[in-house]
Amino acid sequence: MIYSKRQKNQRKGDKILMKNPFEKYYKKSKNEKLTILEEQNYLTRKEIKQITQQVGLTEEVASHMIENQITLYNLPFGIAPNFLINDKEYVIPMVTEEPSVIAAASNAAKLIKQAGGFTTFQPKRYMVGEVALQNCPNPKQAIQAIKKEANKLVELANLAYPSIVKRGGGAIELSVKELKNQEDNFIVVYLTVDTCEAMGANMLNTMLEALVVPLEELTGGQRLMAILSNFAVQSLASAKCQIPCELLAKGAITGEEVRDNIIQATNFAKMDIYRATTHNKGIMNGIDAIVIATGNDWRAIEAGCHAYASHTGQYQPMTNWTKAKNGDLVGTITLPLAVGTVGGSIGIHPGAQLAHSLLDKPSASQLAQIIACVGLGQNLAAVKALVTDGIQKGHMQLQAKSLAIAVGATGEEISQLTSALLKEKGFNQALATQILKDLRK
């Protein structure tokens, strides 16, 4: 097991002698947190200086990113340490407004790290786009004509985007099928493209547009649309962890009981769509946070993941928890994660650039696998809390702190008001406001 991402371990046998620099990280000041990131070589001094000056968009850049830009909207950027992935340690950049997401991810990652960490794989990484044709006079003949010219059509697609071919990618395969019902009939052409380090949306759309006229001439039909698909089933990323029961024990609840309850919770989600939806929402809490931080399209990832959760015909949980032969708890996740490390806002948003630096500038495939681990860890934290203490206990301190800020507490008042609220059986805005008034007296 490798302790630190860029730092050699001092070992005595298999025992790691170095103290975890991220122990009680959440209790440290901002300057202390940044110093640790610099000392552990996650960020350079220059990057630390940029953070102290706030990593964000300028008005000038923002005005070119979207139409009708009028101001900037900020979200917190934090890190979740303790992620050991394929024997390499990561701190995960996360952008989120929900208080408990980063805490939960960090705690789950710490537990999984004790068990040996995550293992991951992504066998291939391609994107698929489609051209839909309508009003073809002879669908069977159209399909045969397209199949006959498939190689030439792939060449045409690559001519439309030669730069990706120079980088070793490009269109690699073309297929076709007929879709029909009582009212409509379509000929659909699917183009598979190796997008290299880019997510590939613009690339796919450019290639597909180049195929429209040739396809119309081949089939006698008319284009309905030419567009990439976010159902990225040729970019599936998987993550796995295996946890001994002794690490799962919680108070009076044995590790075996926790293990069995986590497995039962997954089985329940497989049978109940109400639970499956919330089960998966919790997973996406973590996935969205790192996808946003790295400048990728979280809406595309959301759409693809939820579609994949339904690909069997019934909406299912995105994770699976089972018992190993030796009694350990085994968790797995497989999701379509078509993310990029170049293109889009990645090259122009300072926050996205910072996120990639924190992750040691991973390849697109490595990034997808890291994201899968975040989803699996996030799910472990949520389900474990649900089947032991209940979900609210872990949320209460963070909720109390958020409420303290919301009613106007500042500086030392925030911690004082938070502590006072946690002593109450329940709290709300009116109570927080009154306590703050009393504190100020």
Q: Which residues are known catalytic residues? A: 98, 281, 297, 395
Query: Hey, what's the torsion of the CAs at 161, 164, 166, 171, to 10 degrees?
Result: -80
Starting at the edge strand found earlier in the chain, the sheet holding 170-180 runs: 170-180, 185-194, 127-134, 222-228
Distance of CA 304 to the CA centre of its chain: 12
- Contact by Cβ (8 Å): 376, 109: no
What's the one-letter identity of residue 159? L
| Distant-in-sequence, close-in-space partners of 92: CB < 8 Å, separation ≥ 6 | 79, 80, 81, 83, 105, 109, 290, 358, 359, 370, 374
Beta-carbon contacts of residue 371 (< 8 Å; ≥ 6 apart): 237, 287, 290, 291, 301, 337, 339
Q: What is the CA radius of gyration of the chain?
A: 25
From 377, 376, 349, 364, select the one nearest 293 (Cα to Cα): 349
Burial 292-330 (b: 16+ CB within 10 A, else e): bbbbbbbebbbbbbbbbbeeeeebbbbbbbeeeeeebbb
